[in-house]
Amino acid sequence: MKEYKFPCPVAKKCGGCQLTNMPYEQQLKYKQTTEIKLLGSFGHVDEIIGIESPFHYRNKVQAAFGKTKGGMIISGVYQSSTHNIVKVDSCLIEDEKADRIIVTIRELLKSFKLTVYNDRTGTGFLRHVLIKRAFGTGEIMVVLVTGTAEFKSKNNFCKALLKEHPEITTIVQNINNNFTSLVLGDRQIVLYGDGYIVDELLGYKFRISPKAFYQVNYKGTEILYGKALEFADISENDVVIDAYSGVGTIGIIASGKAKSVISVELNKDAVKDAKINADLNKLKNIRFFCADATEFLLAAAEENEKIDVVMMDPPRAGSTVAFMKSVCKLSPKKVVYISCNPETLARDLLYFSRNGYKVKKIQPVDMFPHTKHIETVVLLSK
Ligand code: SAH
């Protein structure tokens, strides 16, 4: 395994990674200890599954564009809680190809005499570049986020970019002239290709548009979802709920084994993508609901629906007591809890364990090497 002798030179200013000064094996030990401290009282914590190559795993890479005081165009990340851009040409955790494309774009700006956006005055052209790469299929999407809709010599610009990087499959211009910290604006113009990419994960296809949420570590996601499915051990007569379902990934993968799947997600764009993903995989036994997971589960509990397995993947804040109360009322045989925050997970496991469920398995997965974040899959059963 390739080891870096020194921590990342911009780690402090960037703030994205917190553990770069630890060799990878030590990072895993540190995360295992954290998990045992937080979750050990519920049962045995299986050994954290590390990633074979913990560098350059991020399939989604984003760079802000700006100028130095001397007038040189730079790209990189915003120094935490400031407007200053820290120049980054290659990052330890970002996809290397994406980083090279960003450097090419920076060089092309000069030859095409295109300006960069100034977020103090709201003038100028290129604001951010967002790149998403589907590791399963190799497709690459480049999103040029611009302050103005006008894009001088855009056809030649795309041609020049494609000549350097023929592996790019689609290029999108996204216009964002708002004073906002959000990267993407509402207007989009497809300059080349389909305007989205398709990835393949555990045998299923997923369409990824510029705004769609998609897990950032491909290999890690395969491991995580694989464990979640193994724990759920779904059989053909099972009705499964996939709560906090995002673009439908977990429910879609589960639908291959289940009688039917009910997915619930609050974000309407994600639900739209999830429906497209189900069609892409020709699935008929999965339904999607755009709703607050707690309200949806309350209604399901009132109706006394027959649910065999609940898979839940809430955001960092965890779930709600009302949601968990409804789960307990629905009384599925198994609950598979996928968590990106062991602290809220511990709080929620306490509720389940006091209300008829027992923690059977705790499996940490290192989805985000070099950062302090830990993903965990837990199996609870009656
Ligand atoms: N399971 C998906 C997404 C997990 S991220 C995946 O693996 O890709 C958590 C998701 O919960 C996000 O998509 C977010 O929009 C959704 N969410 C947040 N609060 C919610 C709520 N109250 N009800 C339903 N979904 C919610």
Per-residue pLDDT tens for 160-204?
Answer: 999 999 999 999 999 999 888 889 999 999 999 999 999 999 999
Residue nearest ligand 1's atom 21 by CA: 292
Dist. CA 254 → ligand 1 center (Å): 17
CB of 271 within 6 A of ligand 1: the answer is: no
Residues 330-355 pLDDT 10s = 999 999 999 999 999 999 999 999 99
Say what percent of the chain tops pLDDT 90: 88
Residue range 126-143: mean pLDDT, rounded = 98
CB of 309 within 6 A of ligand 1: the answer is: no
Q: Which of 14, 158, 328, 340 is catalytic?
A: 340
CB of 176 within 6 A of ligand 1: the answer is: no
Q: With cut-offs at 50, 70 and 90, classify the pLDDT of residue 111.
A: very high
For a substitution probing ligand 1, which of 250, 262, 265 has the most ligand atoms within 8 Å of its CB? 265
Residue range 247-270: mean pLDDT, rounded = 96
Q: Any catalytic annotation for residue 340?
A: yes
CB of 313 within 6 A of ligand 1: the answer is: yes
Check residue 348 and give its pLDDT: 98
CB of 244 within 6 A of ligand 1: the answer is: yes
Dist. CA 342 → ligand 1 center (Å): 16
When computed from its CA atoms, the radius of gyration of the chain, rounded to whole angstroms, is 22
CB of 48 within 6 A of ligand 1: the answer is: no
Please identify which residue in the block is written with the tokens 């103005």: 148
313, 365 in Cβ contact below 8 A? no
CA–CA gap between residue 240 and residue 262 (Å, rounded): 6
CA distances from 123 to 127, 148, 149, 180 (A): 10, 8, 12, 14
Residue range 140-153: mean pLDDT, rounded = 96
Residue nearest ligand 1's atom 11 by CA: 244
CB of 277 within 6 A of ligand 1: the answer is: no
CB of 249 within 6 A of ligand 1: the answer is: yes
Closest CA to 265 of 233, 239, 301, 297: 297
Ligand 1 atom at shortest distance from the alpha carbon of 270:
13
Three-state SS across the chain?
Answer: CCCCCCCCCCHHHHCCCCCCCCCHHHHHHHHHHHHHHHHHHHCCECCCECCCCCCCCECEEEEEEEECCCCCEEEEEECCCCCCEEECCCCCCECHHHHHHHHHHHHHHHHCCCCECECCCCECCEEEEEEEECCCCCCEEEEEEECCCCCCCHHHHHHHHHHHCCCCCEEEEEECCCCCCCCCCCEEEEEECCCCEEEEECCEEEEECCCCCCCCEHHHHHHHHHHHHHHHCCCCCCEEEEECCCCCHHHHHHHCCCCEEEEEECCHHHHHHHHHHHHHCCCCCEEEEECCHHHHHHHHHHCCCCCCEEEECCCCCCCCHHHHHHHHHHCCCEEEEEECCHHHHHHHHHHHHHCCCEEEEEEEECCCCCCCCCEEEEEEEC
CB of 200 within 6 A of ligand 1: the answer is: no
Dist. CA 56 → ligand 1 center (Å): 25
CA–CA gap between residue 244 and residue 100 (Å, rounded): 34
Residue 226 has pLDDT above 80, yes or no: yes
Residues 13-68 pLDDT 10s = 888 999 988 999 999 999 999 999 999 999 999 999 999 989 999 999 999 999 99
Q: Residue 240, Cβ neighbours under 10 Å: how many?
A: 27
Q: Which residue type does 208 have? A: I
Residues 263-311 pLDDT 10s = 999 999 899 999 999 999 999 999 999 999 999 999 999 998 999 999 9
Residue 316 has pLDDT above 70, yes or no: yes
Residue 6 has pLDDT above 70, yes or no: no
Residue nearest ligand 1's atom 20 by CA: 266
Residue nearest ligand 1's atom 3 by CA: 246
Q: With cut-offs at 50, 70 and 90, classify the pLDDT of residue 81.
A: confident
For a substitution probing ligand 1, which of 132, 221, 244 has the most ligand atoms within 8 Å of its CB? 244
Q: Pairing relation of β-strands 85-87 and 73-78?
A: antiparallel
